Amino acid sequence: MPLMISEMSLAIFLAFILSLLLPTSNAMLVSKFEANNTFTPSTPCNPIQSSRSKKLETADVLITGNSTISGLNNTFNLGFVNPGGKPNWYLAISYASIPTPPIVWVANREKPITNLTSTRLEITAEGKLAIIALPGSTIWQSTNTEKARSLLLQENGNLVLLSAKGLIIWQSFDFPTDTWLPGMNITSERSLISWRSINDPSPGLFSLRINPLGFNEFELVYNKSAKYWSTGNWTGDAFDGVPEMTIPYIYKFHFSDPFTPSASFWYTERELDGGLRPPLTRFQVDVIGQLKQYTWTQQNEYWNMFWSQPDNKCRVYGLCGNWGVCNSTLLKPCVCVSGFRPVSDYDWESGDYTGGCVRDSRDSCEESDGFMEVGVVRFEGAAMVSFVGTRSVCERICLSNCSCIGLFHDGKTSLCKNIYGSLLNLRNSSSDSTFQDVLYVRVPKEGIVRKGVSKSVLLIGSIGGSVVLLGLVAGMLLILRKRRKNGKGVEGNGVFPGLNLKVFTYKELCAATRGFSDKLGHGGFGAVFQGELLDSTLVAVKRLERPGSGEKEFRAEVCTIGNIQHINLVRLRGFCSESSHRLLIYDYMPNGPLSAYLRRDGLNLIWDVRFRVAVGTARGIAYLHEECRDCIIHCDIKPENILLDSDYTAKVSDFGLAKLIGRDFSRVLATMRGTWGYVAPEWISGVAITTKADVYSYGMTLLELLGGRRNVEAPPSARGAGGREGEKAEKWFFPPYAAQKIIEGNVAAVVDDRLGSAYDIEEAQRVASVAVWCIQDSEEMRPTMGMVVKMLEGVVEVTTPPPPKLLQALVSGESYHGVQIDSGKGVSIGGDCCGDNAGTSTRHSSDHRFEKEDKVGPGWPCLAIVGRRGLGGHDHHLTIPQLVNLLGVYMQRSWIILFVACLFLSPLYIFATPILKLLGQRKDIAELAGKFTIRVIPQMFSLAINFPTQKFLQAQSKVGVLAWIGFEALIMPIGVLYLFVNVFKWGLAGAAISYDVSGWVIALGQVAMWLVGARKEGQDCLG
C-alpha cells in the first residue's frame, strides 16, 4: 500500500524500509483449503488438523511494526497496513506477491491505529486475538469464548483460531468486510459493507445482503434501508437477474436453505485442466456502491473487472449525497449543483461522495433572491407542492416561504413544483425526452447573472467566436482538400498495382446496390448488401462501419487480404476508399452461410455435401495458418462465417478484416471478440492465443455440422414428442451431449436425424472424433489444422479422444440439462443469426460477445499474424523497440486529437475572462479563467512545434524518440500539477501555473530537439 512519507514520522519510515530489506519471518501460519476446492462452512464442530499451526501462549506477540504472517503458497498476508491518505493503520489480510495488493479483510475498521510503533498483535490471557496499544489499551479483539491454542492463516484467506482439540472457535470469514472470497459464506446475519472511501476502510453506506424478508435474493442497499439493485429470485441454479450464472466455466455457486432465515450462499472454484488452479478472484462492494468481480490476470499482472452491477453508476441510491448530481458519462460521476461545493473536498477526492454538497454562500431568504437554472434532473428526498402556473408565479410563491429551496417547472405543461428540504439522488436526465422538468435553485442576489449585460455580451462573444471557428474550419477543410487532390492515388476504374483488385468509386457502388437497398445481413464490421456490376456480375458489398484506419493503412491491409487466394476462401474483387467511406467487394455466394442449413425447419444438406464442407473449411483455415506468407489467426470461426457457393463449396469469410501484427510473434494478445460458445477456454482467463483458438472454434462448428443443429436448442426429447423449435421449451447446450455420445462410440445418436441412414458411417466417425479432439481444454492436445485435414481425409488414423474437462463438468450432476437458456429472452450461444454473405459474420444483438482491449494497441478485431517459428513452440514476445514504435504511432494520433481540441477551444478561453467579469461572476473565477487563457498560448505553440518534429523523426525512422516526447508531454502537466496543488499547496492558482510551466518546458524542449536534429541530419529530412 502506498505510504504518505510526508505524513509519518522518521522512525516509522525507517522501520518500514528495514522491514522491506529484512522481512520478519514469523512462522508460516497456513492451512490448505480443502483439496477438492469445495467448501463446507466452518463451525466449532469442524476439527482442523494441521502440522503448520502456530501454538499460542498467553501474551504471545504475533505481529509488531511491519512484520507479517504469510499463508501457504504465499497467497495472503496478515499484517498492519496503511491504506493511505491519513496516518491510520489497520490489521488486515491482503494478497501477497501482487503489486499494490488489495485488502480483503480488516479487523479494526471503526477504530484505526494511530501509533504503529507502540502497537502489537498478541494473544490475551483469555486466549483471544487482540490488537494492543501500549501501555495496555485494547483496540480490537476476537469474540471467541473458548481459549485459543493455535492460529492458522488458510490458503483461501480465512484467519482461524483453534481450540486445544483442533476445533474452529473463531474465523475471519464470519466477519466479512467489503470483499467476498471463494468459500466465504454470506448469510442473513452477515453482509458485505463498503469502505467509506478508497483510503478509509470504516463502514460505508452501501452493503450487499440477503433479502431479510424472502431470503431468496441478494440486494444492494443504501444506509441499510433503500434497495437499489437485486439479483432477482433464486431459480435453483441461478438468479433471475444474473443470467451469466447459467454457464459455469470456472466457478460454482451454492445456495443452502433458500427462502428460510438460515439461508446461506457461497461460491467455490473449479479445478482447470491439468490440475491448474483458476485465477484469483474476488467480489467487492466498492466505495461507489457497485458490486464488482475482479479476476487476476497473471500474465499482464492486473486485476480485470470481469463483472459489475448496477452497470449504471447513477442507479446507486444516494451516491452523490444532498445537492450532488450524478452523471454516469463522467470519470468522476458526481458534481455539485451550480452555487454549491462539496462538504468535504478530501472525501470527494478519495471517492466518497455521499456527504453531498453545501451552498457556496449563505442560505438566502429575501424577496430580492433569484433563481439559477440547473437543468433537467431527477431527484428524491425532498417534499414538493405542485400546481399549475407560469414560472414567474412559481418564483413569487417560492420567495414568500423561507423553507422553499427551489422549484421545478415544465414549460410545456406549465406544471410547477416548489421544493422544500434537501435534494437527494439527483440524476442528469437531459437526454431523456420524456422528462422535461427543469430545476431552478434559489440563490442570493449577488449570485444572479445580470440580465441587462448578458444578452449583448453573449451576442458579441458568440458572433466573434463563431467567426474565428468558421475561419479555422474553412482553412482546415481547404488544406485537407488540397492534400487529398495532390496525394490522390488510384481511384475510379483503376486497378490496384500488383493485384487483380479493382478500385471502385462510391458512386459506382451506390448504383450497383441500388442505393444500398438490398441488405443481405449485418456483421460485426458492418452491413453487407447485394449488388450487380455493369457486366451483370453479382457481388456482395461490405460497408465497414468502424474502419479504424486512414487511407494508406486501409490500402495496405487490402493489399494483404488481396494476396490471399484459395479455393476455400472468399475472394476479394475490389474496394473503395473515398473520403471516409471504406467498402469491400466480394464474390456473391448464392447458397448463403452454413448457419442457414442448421435449423431444424430449414434446408437440409446431404452427407456428401456436409463432408465436403467440413474438409473444405479445414483446408481454408489450414491455408491461413500454414501456407500464407503471414500466418493468420481468424479468431471467429463459426457457421455464419462459412459460405457456400453455387456448387456448395465451402468458403471461409471474415478472415482479413482486422489489425495485422508482425509475423515474428508466436502468440498474440488479440482483442477478445469471439462469439460465445465458440471461444476457446484460454481466452476466458485473458491469456495470449495461438492458432489453436481457431481449432477449438472449428471443432464446435464441426459438431453443429454433424448434428445438423445449433449449439443451443431444444433437446431431442422435446422434438421427439412433437415439439417444434419455435415453441417455448427448455433449451440445452449440445456439445457436452455430443462429446459424451461420441466418446461412448454412439455416433449415430449425434448425426442429424434428417439424414436417416444415408451417410457414410466411417466418415461420420472420423468427423465426430476430430471434432472432439479439436475442442480439448488444453491447446497442446488439439491438432493443427493441417493435421485435421489429414485426419478427415483418412491419411492419419483418428484415435478415440478423451472427454473435454470443461464440457464434462457441464454434464456432471444434472446431465447436459444443467445449461439452460430462457428462449423468451432470446439468449443465443454461438449466434442464432439470419443469412449473410461474402465475408460477413452476422451477429444478432442477443449474441454473447467478449470484448477486451488489446494491450499492444487499439486495433481492429482480432486478425493476428504470428511467425512460423512460433508455431513450432518457440515463444516470442514484443521487443522493447517494437513496443516503443507502436507507442510512438499512437502518441502521434493522440497529439493530433489534442491539437484539434485546443484549436476549437481556444476562442472559449479567450472570451472566458471578459464574459465572466461582465456577467457579474465572482472575481476569483474570472481570474482563474484568465490564467487558463494564458496556458493556451504555450500549449498551442508546443503543439505547432510538435508536427515538424514528428515528420523529422518519422523520416529518420526514430518513431521511438517521438514516443517518449509524446509521453513526456502527456505526463509532465500531471506531475507539475501534483507538485503545485498537493506539495506546494498553491491550490487553483498552482493548477494554472503548472500548465504554464509544463507547456513552455515541452515547447522549448521540442524546439531544441528540432534544431539539434535538423543541424545533424540536414534540412532535407524534414520533407
What residues are annotated to the active site?
636
User: SS3 string of 480-549?
Assistant: HHHHHHHCCCCCCCCECCCCCCEECCHHHHHHHCCCCCCEEEEECCEEEEEEECCCCCEEEEEEECCCCC
Q: Are strands 324-326 and 424-428 parallel, antiparallel or unpaired?
A: parallel
Spatial CB neighbours of 430, under 8 Å, sequence gap ≥ 6? 375, 376
Q: Locate 50 and state its grid cell.
A: 494441521
The DSSP H or E segment spanning 620 is helix 607-622
8 A C-beta contact, residue 672 and residue 683: yes
Rounded-to-integer distance, Cα 228 and Cα 731, Å: 32
The DSSP element (H or E) to which 294 belongs, if any, is strand 291-297
Give buried/exposed letters for 584-602 (b at 16+ CB in 10 A, else e).
bbbbbbebbbbbbbbebee
Distance spanning both ends of the chain, measured CA to CA = 50
Residue 52 exposed, middle or buried by CB count within 10 Å (0-12, 13-18, 19+): middle
DSSP H or E segment with residue 583: strand 583-587
Strands (E), 298-453: 302-309, 324-326, 334-336, 340-342, 357-359, 370-380, 383-388, 404-410, 415-420, 424-428, 438-443
N residues, the chain: 1023
Separation between Cα atoms, residue 678 and residue 657, nearest integer Å: 19
Coil vs helix vs strand at 387:
strand
Give helix 761-774 / helix 785-793 axis angle, nearest 10°: 160
Q: Under a CB-based contact definition with an 8 Å cutoff, are residues 991 and 980 in contact?
A: yes
Nearest to 594 by CA among 677, 706, 760: 706
Rounded CA-CA distance 1023/1011 in Å is: 15
* Residues with Cβ within 8 Å of residue 451, at least 6 apart in sequence: none
Q: Are 618 and 796 in contact (CB under 8 A)?
A: no
**Range 286-307 burial, b when 16+ CB lie within 10 A, else e:** bbbbbbbbbbbbeeeebbeebe
- Can you read off the three cell numbers belonging to residue 888? 510512438
Residue among 696, 719, 589 at smallest CA distance from 641? 589
Q: Could you tell me if residue 619 is left (phi over 0), alpha (psi between -120 and 50 degrees) or otherwise beta? A: alpha
485 annotated binding-site participant:
no
Q: How many CB atoms are closer than 10 A to CB 960?
A: 18
Spatial CA neighbour of 419 closest among 431, 409, 408: 408
DSSP one-letter string for 637-683: -SGGGEEE-TT--EEE-SSSSS----TT-SSB------BTTTS-HHH
Find the Cα–Cα–Cα–Cα dihedral 100, 106, 111, 117, rounded to 10°.
Answer: -60
Is the preceding peptide bond at 310 cis, omega within 30 degrees of 0?
yes
Q: What residues does 281 pair with on adjacent strands?
A: 295
Q: Give the angle 563-567-572 at the CA atoms, nearest 5°.
A: 40
- How, if at all, do strands 61-64 and 119-123 pair? antiparallel
Binding site as annotated, residues = 542
Binding site as annotated, residues for ATP = 542
